[in-house]
Amino acid sequence: MNPSGIQLFLKQNFDIQTVMPLIVVAATALLVLLLEATIRGKSRTFLTAVSLVGLGVALLLTLFNFPGAKQSSFYGMVRTDAFAQFFTVIALAAGSLTLLLSANYLPKIKSDTGEFHALVLLAVCGMILMAIGNDLIVLFLGIETMSIAMYILCGIRVDAEKSNESSLKYLLLGAFASAFLLFGIALIYGATGTTNIEALINSGGVLYGISGIKEYQWDTGAYQFAETAAQYFFILGVAFVFLGFAFKIGAVPFHMWTPDVYQGAPTSVTGFMAVGVKAAAFAALIRVFLGIVDFGDLYSSNAIAYQPLMDLKDVLLGVIWLVAVLTMTLGNLSALIQTNLKRMLAFSSIAHAGYALVGVSVALRLSGDDRDAAVGAVMFYLLAYMFMNLGAFGVVIMMNRGNDEGEHLHDYNGLASYRPLVAAAMAVFMFSLAGIPPTAGFVGKFYIFSAAVSAGTVEGYGLYFYSLAIIGVLNSIISVYYYLYPLRNMYFVSAEREHKVELRPLMSASILISTIFVLWIGVMPKGFLSRALEGAKALFFG
Amino acid sequence: MTGQYIPILCAAVVSVGLAAGMLLLSRILGPRNLTKRKTSTYECGVEPTGSTRERFPIKFYIIAMLFILFDIEIIFMIPWAIEFRQLGFLGFIEMAVFIGVLVVGLVYVWKKGALEWD
Amino acid sequence: MISLESYIPALAFLAEAAADAVKTGASEMNFGAGDFFFYLFAVIAVFSAFMVVTAESPISSALFLVVTFFAMAAIYALLSAHFLAVIQVLVYAGAIMVLFLFVIMLLDLRKEELIEKRHWLLGAVGFVVGIALVVLMVASFRLSQNVEVAVKSGTDQEAPDAAKFPAIQESADQIDGSRIEAARFGTTRRVSKHLFREYLFPFEVASLLLLVGIIGVVVISRRRRRRRPPGEVIDEEGAS
């Protein structure tokens, strides 16, 4: 190979620039870990600064120096398109806001360790991997890196029994889900001969007869590729992969872990889990399932007679329809009866996953501009959800008085009278979560439900999508009750006694940033939406 | 290729057969005299107090867990070592990055004192 | 579509296949040595896996798990995944089993703590789902005989962009390739070639995953804080 050939080879397959944000975050994590191990002394606040610098550099690289084009690198393992860029930004922003929120909170819960920062950074690495991963193996590694970091973060309060319980529950159920996911990936590989999503599409929709799916011919005594068997393996694999993702996004009926895990974990971790893990899981879900559906379409177009795989799209639609409806409804109804704000937000995060699933189900059934609109709506919603939910958790952290005190709804009584700004910020977040204009939450819901309504105009799917939109809107109305309940306490109930609410600079900054973005996205959604749509368009292969 | 496993198969069959045979033979041939004293843990020693199964200190677990993690690191090095020449300088860098990340982990574990016994 | 209707012909096929096997007799089937060993180890693996779940003492469960791991390693070897077979023995049957035993001893569960308190309905649901999965698996094999080959077969279509995805090319080669080629498939050399080229990125990411595991060990096993006598060196988070 001549020198220029080597350079070309390196450029094509080892283009480090495409994964620069990931490398920066990982390197920062390593640095933080070394500092934590070598530096004596108790305060770890400076580690927050180090981590934030790393995340900031990565954020700048992502925003201004991202390859952007439809470019895959490392032998097609990663794909750094606008879609990846969008979710990388969400991951980095979620990590930064979490670290800001934690800076003053960690000493309060006696967990001020450098490991916390390193684990948050490594979890962000996992999320970035899920955003850029173009191969099921990379996605799986990303999911595991993120999840294992999360299991540990949940249990970082070694003293608190609830934190231990949260960690263990999450670990056991999460490992179970990961096993299903991996099994599903193996089945898909067995049926198609590749784990690469791009290769899946480029294969032209052909199932490969490798990896042992051969059947014994009783008459001739030979082994032959079993076409139908491969289809069933593919379908089974898709089902298992969906199951794994459904667990990660906390969709019903795989949501059972959510309330206990969310309540037991340190609050800043809970916020990170609710927005970061969910967004990353949706990123991977959308990329994988759009690839799978496209593969199914190509396969169907090749077929000259009925094949079981042809029904995949409709079956998926039915399953996701049911899951979305159940997720929205159960999440909202359970949130209604909670008296602990943290637990209420946990249930409400289930409901929000349901809203996002509405968009996903639309995206899976439609094609062209309609699909772009649906995917873009989901992306936009996840961005909005990150700011509003992390903001709400920020206020919960601010109200925390060590242990679990200050999380109860009546702890918010009369907050507006002695901390009007905090109460105002909380009001913005609650309005946004409930979907009341002019906040980000309203715009996000509007785009998702309008995508569902426009999908309802497609011949034969009116019942599916109109009903989905109607159920979604009804659920939003239910949610208004429990989101406004804390506001009632804050503004219309007088305080029995004033709680000490400390306005620490970093925490306040985090809440301020969240408030600004919730309002900004709510008032001027155009710029954000166009970036989301750009990302959605980039998902197409070829 | 699979034929290479025949010696392993033979060894497995012989070792399993030998162990099973010995147990079986001693069961058949050995005299059995099960009295209460005979079956006690130490026939002519001190009576044991309490269960033999005691809780292990967590130290064992930490060591075992860290062993597995670094064991996996070593396993990745086997294929690298076999193809070392063909992989060239690029392969060297690849492995250096991999090990570098884990060396940071080792330094961290070391400094944290997780490798010390008490 | 995986619907109920799929099961009816599947069950019929199951019965038919069983009758077929009885009629022709095992001797007439083309039953090579490879098949024999596959079924031998498969039976061992499934049996010992079953024993893992049903054994009363956790220690015997763990020991049956070792048997399962060995049987799995043998199956990997039969599939000419030689490297994987060795790793399976080294890591799973070796290191991970030791860890399992440590954990069992660490917990030291008494027998009365292990009594199941499961609702019978859960068991029933599990049984039905299990049976359904088995039927589905068998069905997918047997049904395929009945369906005419309605799709362009997997081997004669255009190869995907091989330069971009060498893994596919490799796989495709293997279908047509000679038996010797297939036998080389899982050797350490082959694994190495793929691992440090196409799978370089996942390989490097694996180091991050291992690092997270290392941090987890230290964090989770960290001792609870306790009061220290004054003057002692402060090493708050020390795991020791």
Judge contact between A386 and A278, C-beta under 8 A: no
The model's confidence at residue A25, banded by pLDDT at 50, 70 and 90, is very high
Using one digit for the tens of pLDDT, what is the confidence trace for A331-390? 999 999 988 898 999 999 999 999 999 999 999 888 888 888 999 999 999 999 999 999
C238: pLDDT strictly greater than 80? no
For residue A417, give the nearest of A345, A501, A525, A348 by alpha carbon: A501
Judge contact between C215 and C207, C-beta under 8 A: no
Chains that touch A (3 or more CB pairs under 8 A): B, C
Q: What value does the mean pLDDT take over residues A218-228?
A: 62
Q: What value does the mean pLDDT take over residues A153-167?
A: 89
The model's confidence at residue A57, banded by pLDDT at 50, 70 and 90, is very high
Token pair belonging to B25? 């033979």
The model's confidence at residue A230, banded by pLDDT at 50, 70 and 90, is confident
Contacts of C203 (CB under 8 A, 6+ apart): B76, B94, B98, C195, C196
Q: What value does the mean pLDDT take over residues C101-126?
A: 73
Nearest-Cα distance to chain A for B106, in Å, is 10
* Predicted pLDDT at C11: 59
Cβ–Cβ pairs < 8 A, chains B and C: 139
Does the beta-carbon distance from B108 to A26 stay under 8 Å? no
Strands in A269-419 per DSSP E: none
Phi-psi region of A266 (alpha: psi -120 to 50; beta: other; left: phi over 0): beta
Does the beta-carbon distance from B61 to C87 stay under 8 Å? no
Nearest-Cα distance to chain C for A226, in Å, is 6
Cα–Cα distance, A146 to A33 (Å, whole number) = 17
Cα–Cα distance, A280 to A274 (Å, whole number) = 11
Cα–Cα distance, A422 to A395 (Å, whole number) = 7
Q: Which one is predicted more confidently, A325 or A110? A: A325
For residue A457, give the nearest of A333, A362, A331, A349 by alpha carbon: A362
Highest mean pLDDT pick, A27-36, A449-458, B36-45, B48-57: A27-36
Using one digit for the tens of pLDDT, what is the confidence trace for A237-249? 999 999 999 999 9
Q: What value does the mean pLDDT take over residues C83-103?
A: 87
Judge contact between A25 and A58, C-beta under 8 A: yes
Question: For C98-159, what is the HEC assignment?
Answer: HHHHHHHHHHCCCHHHHCCCCCHHHHHHHHHHHHHHHHHHHHHHHHHHHCCCCCCCCCCCCC
Q: Domains in chain B, please, with CATH?
A: 56-118 (1.20.58.1610)
Does the beta-carbon distance from C212 to A145 stay under 8 Å? yes
Cα–Cα distance, A84 to A22 (Å, whole number) = 12
Judge contact between A138 and C202, C-beta under 8 A: yes
DSSP letters of C23-43? HH-GGGS---HHHHHHHHHHH
* Predicted pLDDT at A310: 81
For residue C41, give the nearest of C6, C11, C7, C77 by alpha carbon: C77
* Predicted pLDDT at B106: 93
Asked if C79 reaches chain A (Cβ–Cβ under 8 Å), the answer is: yes
Helix (H, G, I), strand (E, B) or coil at A72: strand
B3: pLDDT strictly greater than 80? no
Does the beta-carbon distance from C191 to B87 stay under 8 Å? no
Mean pLDDT computed over every residue of chain A = 87
Does the beta-carbon distance from C207 to B101 stay under 8 Å? yes
**What's the ipTM?**
0.91
Q: Which one is predicted more confidently, A483 or C162? A: A483
Helix (H, G, I), strand (E, B) or coil at A49: helix
Token pair belonging to A451? 């995508």
Using one digit for the tens of pLDDT, what is the confidence trace for A104-146? 888 888 777 888 999 999 999 999 999 999 999 999 999 999 9
C230: pLDDT strictly greater than 50? no
The model's confidence at residue A171, banded by pLDDT at 50, 70 and 90, is very high
For residue A486, give the nearest of A327, A343, A382, A331 by alpha carbon: A343
Of residues A14, A26, A37, nearest to B111 (C-beta): A37
Phi-psi region of A250 (alpha: psi -120 to 50; beta: other; left: phi over 0): left
C21: pLDDT strictly greater than 70? no
The residue of C178, C179, C197, C210 whose CB has the most chain B CBs within 10 angstroms, and thus the best one to mutate to test that interface, is: C210
The model's confidence at residue C179, banded by pLDDT at 50, 70 and 90, is very low
Handedness of CA B23, B27, B29, B30 (dihedral sign): positive
C69: pLDDT strictly greater than 90? yes
Does the beta-carbon distance from C151 to A227 stay under 8 Å? yes
The model's confidence at residue C33, banded by pLDDT at 50, 70 and 90, is low
The model's confidence at residue A529, banded by pLDDT at 50, 70 and 90, is very high
Highest mean pLDDT pick, A292-306, A486-500, B75-89: B75-89
- Angle at which helix A312-336 crosses helix A227-249, to 10 degrees, equals 20
A488: pLDDT strictly greater than 70? yes
Q: Which one is predicted more confidently, C108 or A231? A: A231
Token pair belonging to A36? 């934590």
Mean pLDDT computed over every residue of chain C = 70
The residue of A122, A132, A136, A158 whose CB has the most chain C CBs within 10 angstroms, and thus the best one to mutate to test that interface, is: A158
Contacts of A74 (CB under 8 A, 6+ apart): A13, A14, A15, A18, A19, C200, C201
Does the beta-carbon distance from B2 to C215 stay under 8 Å? no
C174: pLDDT strictly greater than 60? no
Strands A72-73 and A214-216: unpaired
Which chain C positions have a beta carbon within 8 Å of B65's beta carbon?
99, 213, 217
Of residues A42, A141, A194, nearest to C209 (C-beta): A141
- Its pTM stands at 0.86
Q: What value does the mean pLDDT take over residues C158-167?
A: 43
Angle at A115 between CA A110 and CA A119, to 5 degrees: 120
Nearest-Cα distance to chain C for B79, in Å, is 5
The residue of A6, A30, A35, A36 whose CB has the most chain B CBs within 10 angstroms, and thus the best one to mutate to test that interface, is: A30
The model's confidence at residue B102, banded by pLDDT at 50, 70 and 90, is very high
Does the beta-carbon distance from C106 to B1 stay under 8 Å? no
Cα–Cα distance, B93 to B101 (Å, whole number) = 12
CATH number corresponding to C31-115: 1.20.120.1200
Q: What value does the mean pLDDT take over residues A139-165?
A: 92
Instruction: Count the Cβ atoms, other than its own, within 10 Å of residue B73.
Output: 19
Cα–Cα distance, A45 to A103 (Å, whole number) = 6
C-alpha separations of A132 from A86, A174, A275, A295, C79 in Å: 10, 22, 18, 20, 33
* Predicted pLDDT at C24: 52
B59: pLDDT strictly greater than 60? yes
Contacts of A235 (CB under 8 A, 6+ apart): A308, A309, A312, A315, C2
* Predicted pLDDT at C12: 62
Using one digit for the tens of pLDDT, what is the confidence trace for C192-209? 888 888 888 999 999 999
Does the beta-carbon distance from A37 to B112 stay under 8 Å? yes
The model's confidence at residue C139, banded by pLDDT at 50, 70 and 90, is low
A499: pLDDT strictly greater than 70? yes
Token pair belonging to A365? 């059934």
C178: pLDDT strictly greater than 70? no
C-alpha separations of A168 from A150, A151, A165, A171, C116 in Å: 11, 7, 5, 5, 20
Q: Which of A482-491, A498-507, C138-147 has the lowest mean pLDDT?
A: C138-147
Q: Which of A326-340, A341-355, A504-518, B41-55 has the lowest mean pLDDT?
A: B41-55
Q: Which one is predicted more confidently, A330 or B44? A: A330
Angle at A117 between CA A112 and CA A123, to 5 degrees: 135
Asked if C54 reaches chain A (Cβ–Cβ under 8 Å), the answer is: no
- Domain range list for chain C: 31-115, 119-147, 166-226
Nearest-Cα distance to chain C for B33, in Å, is 27
Using one digit for the tens of pLDDT, what is the confidence trace for A446-469? 999 999 998 888 777 888 889 999
- Angle at which helix A136-154 crosses helix A114-132, to 10 degrees, equals 160
Query: Which strand (E) or helix (H) includes residue A128?
Result: helix A114-132
* Predicted pLDDT at C171: 47
Handedness of CA C72, B99, C216, A121 (dihedral sign): negative
Nearest-Cα distance to chain C for A159, in Å, is 6
Cα–Cα distance, A58 to A89 (Å, whole number) = 9
Q: What value does the mean pLDDT take over residues A61-69?
A: 78
DSSP letters of B1-28? -GGGGHHHHHHHHHHHHHHHHHHHHHHH
Angle at A368 between CA A363 and CA A370, to 5 degrees: 50
Of residues C106, C196, C214, nearest to B87 (C-beta): C196
Handedness of CA A24, A30, A31, A33 (dihedral sign): positive
pLDDT > 70 in chain A, percent: 92
Cα–Cα distance, C68 to C71 (Å, whole number) = 5
Partnered with residue A72 across adjacent β-strands are: A79
Cα–Cα distance, A401 to A412 (Å, whole number) = 13
Which chain C positions have a beta carbon within 8 Å of B82's beta carbon?
188-189, 192
Phi-psi region of C57 (alpha: psi -120 to 50; beta: other; left: phi over 0): beta
DSSP code, position A19:
G
The model's confidence at residue C190, banded by pLDDT at 50, 70 and 90, is confident
Q: Which of A65-74, A332-341, A463-472, C28-37 has the lowest mean pLDDT?
A: C28-37
Cβ–Cβ pairs < 8 A, chains A and B: 18
Amino acid in the structure at residue C28: E
For residue B89, give the nearest of C207, A18, A1 by alpha carbon: A1
Cα–Cα distance, B94 to C202 (Å, whole number) = 12
